[in-house]
Structure 1
Amino acid sequence: FLANWFGTTTVTREWIDSKHKEIDEEPVGNEAHVGVTPLTDMQQADLIVTKHWMRMLVWQMAMSKCLLSSNSSKESLSLSFPVRLSTQLRALMTRFSRQAIEIHGSGIQQKLFELTDTIANVIITVPAATVQETAGRVDDFTFLIGFLFSLPSFDPVQRDILQNKLEQLQSLFPYSASEAGASPAASDVTYTSSSKAPHNDLPSPPSRVVWHEMAKKLSMAQPRDAPRSDLARLVEGV
């Protein structure tokens, strides 16, 4: 794996697909049946996040070798693969308490940041098929950054990076947030160390979520320009 990561051997579509399958098949406690596994919530949360992070690393390797496609029949070779992880990450954060995730410190926060940043890059550069799909992507992203921004020790530089991505999404999809109003906004969700899942302390949000209010709640960081990513250059060539 490391030899391929550092480019000392050839990465093929078959290798990428096989690594995704190996990661998928790797047991991480009991993702499907809560209560059966002997692992604690903290152990499961760490393993599940690490699993998603490894899948993202393999996907990035495929991207660096121009092996991805917008119409690939294999999920592991799809340009939009990371946005599919966002729904799974959101489910993780609603399944476990914040303490079960936060207790792992900077290591798990770094993985969650890298995942969330990659998800944002895909939303920005890879068009969704429908307005509703775009709205769902944006909703998941705002939920993820709402969780990260709620962590007291979250790195301020990483916070600025995600804030910048939020502002780019606001510019690209000014009405997408309103389409995602069926579920609570990330900033309206509070996490407790004792509960198994987040709960809402505020009334249900209106169906139309206003972008500038969302950004204000999530962060007070100033906007700044971001360089074009490798993914953006790759999409332009597809």
Structure 2
Amino acid sequence: MQTNVFLSGLLAICVAASAARAASYSEFTASDLSTDPLQPTPFALAPGLNDLLAETSATDFDFLQITVPANYVLGAITVTFHEDMNAVFAGIQQGAVWTAGAGSEIIPPAMLGWVNFPTNPQLGHVGENILDDIALGVGATGFTPPLESGVYTMLFQTRSVAVRYGLSFRVTPVSASLMGDFNGDTLVDSADLAIWRAAFGQTAAGDANGDGVTDGVDMMIWQRNSGLTGAAPAAHAVPEPAAAMLTLGAAAGLAVRRRRRA
């Protein structure tokens, strides 16, 4: 019964937001995500918001291969669902297979980044953009969001019993990667404000933070960036290397001290 209620709630959310969604993958309506690091489940992202609904546990590792299309960038990964206080580890690696280990034997230098989400379980879990936190994963290569077009593989795991989670991958044109540039002309100006006004409470056309809705938060982002000119995504940054191995337990301790991203 609990599973049926959960599925009904997820279906209701998906139907209500279908107009703003580009693609979706759910373990609860399709097959489970792959447990084979050399054969991750493919998920081709499309322009817009792409939803993932899945479940992981201490013995069920999820490997997902995402493709960001050419001339687009991955601008945000937003938490849309997280059912309890147990954090989920999310790591990302460039390429079509996962070679950075799993369980308690994660290899940070082989990853672009990682995070345990939600970064602060004591606060609200939904609406947090974790992409910038992933970019700052200790010991990983690191990158500067947004993430450029290409093929990437992700690992999701947890130390606890099964945890259900939902993520939304926001894919935007390269020229529209500047938050608040709703028309993609590489400039945040009055034309973008007009788009926000028309979309407010109606569509995701004025969505600046990747949460799938156009609201007052997006207006504040537009105001903050007003007058700025966009640029192509920055190249991957390389911070100082850290330890060669990282246990998931240590990762959890580090992530609690990281800042929360709304």
Alignment TM-score, normalising by the size of structure 2? 0.28
> If each structure's helix is expressed as a fraction of its own residues, which one has the higher value?
1
Higher RCO (CA-CA < 8 Å; seq separation 6+) = 2
Alignment TM-score, normalising by the size of structure 1? 0.30
> If each structure's strand is expressed as a fraction of its own residues, which one has the higher value?
2
